[in-house]
């Protein structure tokens, strides 16, 4: 049995696994019990993820982000889905070891892969375990929205399709609103840019969300670009293995008098409130917000997960690692708060 009693930081919590569901031969879902006193902290938006602390004999632990497949509008308990990857220590450990009744250390929900409007017409792309956040968005939009939804889901074969029965049941229940298209590699080969563009050409007015391996998402991006879909209506979820420890407490960095005197000033809009903060040039945006006691969203602090993505409305920043962002994202003002340091003297940033 895997048991964790005490969280490693004030941000994390220990949750009990109430059920483990074998989805396919190489994937499983973990359903968590959330105590009443943690319900507000663990409320989430469709398409967000949880970060789990996985024990490791080599390093003590590793941190991994797993998307929520549950919907906050239809499911009583949060559920993440994990698919084994070749040589993937964490995913194989979860599938091999976690049982109902075990406890795991978890960070609160995070991520920006979520629709702003559940009434919008949605074009949802997924490949393999990329169906996980897509399923959360799909169930939420069907329950609380009124738009039409098209799901394009690519897999090796029938046996690899996660949530096959649930997708079939949703399509049967909502025939006027939902179309599910399965692309099976053993029958159709790998999806090509031209084939995807032909398939979704009738839906270019929709809002597009995609999650899956990078080659798949590159083809989807190319297909939508070929069809002329504006970049601000396409949203991608990308996960990398985290190298840092997001479960460690972050100590405020000491600032010298010289740094304080040369600090920039930033107006940060967070949860509808605006905060004006001095921003020393050696510190990241997440650093200074944490030092002021603000509940800034973040997970990895390495520029690898996108939890701290925000928008520069005024001013300019420099970022050490922004590979997770597309050039179009950066051109549209998106930045990573954990990597951003001020270049100009005054900035406005919105989360």
pLDDT tens track for 48-93: 999 999 988 777 788 999 999 999 999 999 999 999 998 889 999 9
DSSP string, 171-207: HHH-TTTEEEEEEEHHHH-SPPHHHHHHHHGGGTTSE
Q: How many CB atoms are located within 10 Å of the residue 158 CB?
A: 11
d(CA 223, CA 66): 27
| Domain 122-237 architecture | 3-Layer(aba) Sandwich (3.40)
10 Å CB burial of residue 250 (0-12, 13-18, 19+) is middle
Average pLDDT value for the chain: 93
Q: What sign does the dihedral 215-219-220-224 (CA atoms) show?
A: positive
Report the CATH superfamily, name and number, of domain 257-350. Answer: Beta-grasp domain (3.10.20.30)
Give backbone dihedrals phi and psi of 51, rounded to 5 degrees, phi first. -105, 125
CATH 3.40.50.80 in the chain: give the residue spans: 122-237
Check if the beta carbon of residue 70 is closer than 8 Å to that of residue 43: no
CATH 2.40.30.10 in the chain: give the residue spans: 13-110
In angstroms, the Cα distances linking 262 to 54, 140, 225, 276, 343 are 41, 47, 43, 16, 11
Kindly report, residue by residue over 291-317, the tens digit of the pLDDT: 888 988 887 788 888 889 999 999 999
pTM of the model: 0.86
Q: What is residue 243's predicted lDDT score, i.e. its pLDDT?
A: 66
Class assignment of domain 13-110? mainly beta
Q: What is residue 208's predicted lDDT score, i.e. its pLDDT?
A: 98
Average pLDDT over residues 274-289: 94
């Amino acid at each position: 049995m895997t048991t964790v009693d005490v969280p490693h930081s004030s941000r994390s919590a220990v949750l009990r696994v109430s059920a483990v569901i074998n989805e396919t031969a190489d994937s499983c879902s973990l359903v968590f019990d959330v105590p009443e006193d943690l319900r507000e902290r663990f409320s989430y938006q469709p398409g967000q993820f949880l970060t789990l602390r996985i024990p490791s004999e080599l390093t003590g632990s590793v941190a991994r982000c797993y998307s929520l497949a549950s919907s906050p509008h239809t499911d009583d308990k949060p559920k993440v889905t994990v698919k084994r990857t070749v040589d993937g220590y964490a995913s194989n450990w979860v599938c091999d070891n976690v049982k109902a009744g075990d406890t795991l250390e978890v960070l609160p929900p995070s991520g920006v892969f979520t629709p702003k409007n559940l009434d919008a017409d949605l074009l949802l792309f997924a490949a393999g375990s990329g169906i996980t956040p897509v399923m959360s968005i799909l169930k939420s939009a069907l329950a609380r929205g009124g738009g039409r939804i098209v799901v394009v889901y690519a897999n090796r074969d029938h046996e690899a399709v996660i949530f096959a029965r649930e997708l079939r049941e949703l399509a049967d229940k909502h025939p006027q609103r939902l179309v599910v298209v399965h692309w099976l590699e053993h029958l159709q080969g790998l999806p090509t840019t031209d084939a995807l563009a032909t398939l979704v050409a009738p839906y270019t007015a929709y809002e597009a969300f995609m999650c899956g391996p990078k080659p798949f998402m590159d083809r989807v991006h190319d297909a939508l670009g070929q069809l002329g879909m504006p970049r601000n209506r396409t949203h991608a979820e990308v996960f990398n293995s985290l190298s840092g420890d997001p479960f460690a407490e972050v100590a405020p960095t000491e600032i010298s008098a010289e740094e304080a005197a040369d600090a920039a000033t930033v107006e940060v809009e967070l949860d509808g409130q605006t905060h004006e903060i001095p921003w020393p040039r050696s510190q990241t945006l997440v650093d200074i917000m944490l030092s002021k006691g603000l509940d800034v969203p973040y997970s990895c602090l390495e520029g690898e997960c996108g939890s701290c993505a925000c928008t520069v409305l005024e001013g300019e920043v420099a970022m050490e690692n922004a590979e997770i962002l597309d050039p179009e994202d950066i051109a549209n003002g998106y930045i990573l708060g954990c990597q951003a340091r001020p270049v100009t003297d005054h900035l406005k940033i919105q989360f």
